[in-house]
Structure 1
Amino acid sequence: MNTSLVLTLLWMIIANVSAILPSKDNYWSRAYGLIAIGVPLLGYLTYENGPWVGLIALAAGASMLRWPIVYLGRWLRHLVLGGANDPS
């Protein structure tokens, strides 16, 4: 195992442990930290191991940080549609 795989697995363990611990801000501060560390780590992993391993790690990270991705999708949809599809 190379360094990028070990660091990625360590990131995944930290993400899972941080999801178990209680939080007052619904885990957003932890999510920001995990994203800030995970994006460069994903680039390093893809550089060392190729695009398929990078895509697998991206899917695994997205499944762990799904709410920031859901809110990003909602924000982009609102930006593109201009609020025309707003249910409220």
Structure 2
Amino acid sequence: MTLSLVLACLWAVVAAAIGMMPSRIHWPAAYGLIAVGIPLLGFVTYQNGPFWGLVALAGGASVLRWPLMYFGRWLRLRVIGALRRETE
């Protein structure tokens, strides 16, 4: 197993441990997980190829589903708002 996959598994264990902590810790920890996870995702893809990069992306998205949902809502509102301004 490559170093990048070991680090990705360690990231998942840390994310699971954070998930068991009190809820006031979740959002600051989520920002830290995102900050560490994005370069780690690139490292996994670089060392192991796009298939394992997509597997790691799916694993990270399943752990960080709430930040992704909030980002999707924010992005959708921005796009809808821009489209409405354009048509007016």
With the length of structure 1 as denominator, give the TM-score of the two structures. 0.89
- Identical positions, percent: 57
Q: How does 1:71-86 map to 2 (within 5 A)?
A: 71-82=70-81
Deviation at 1:24, TM superposition (A): 1.9
Return the index of the structure with the highest Cα Rg. 2
Distance 2:53 2:22 in 1: 30
Deviation above 4 Å: which 4+ runs of structure 1?
none
Report the TM-score when normalising by structure 2: 0.89
Structure 1, gaps ≥5 residues long: none
Residues 1-88 of structure 1: matches in 2 within 5 Å? Answer: 1-24=1-24, 27-82=26-81
Give the alignment's Cα RMSD to 1 decimal.
1.4
Length, aligned pairs only = 83
Q: Distance in 2 between matches of 1:24 and 1:74?
A: 22
Q: Gapped runs of 5+ residues in structure 2?
A: none
